[in-house]
Amino acid sequence: MAKSKSVIKRVYVPTHVRDLPNGEKVTVPGHYKAPAQSGLSE
């Protein structure tokens, strides 16, 4: 299943404000995300 042995099982994303292209500001609360599926910039 896993291509490489991942030491980091999940990445913690702290609360931050994301600026959208249309000028909107979205506050993203702190959460964990799987490092493998990073469709976004980070």
Given a cut of 80, whether residue 40 has pLDDT beyond it is: no
The 3-state DSSP class for residue 17 equals: strand
- Note the pLDDT tens digit of each residue in 4-28: 665 667 788 899 999 999 999 999 8
Dihedral over alpha carbons 17, 33, 11, 16 (to 10 degrees): 10
What pLDDT sits at residue 15? 93
The full set of domain ranges for the chain reads: 7-34
What pLDDT sits at residue 31? 87
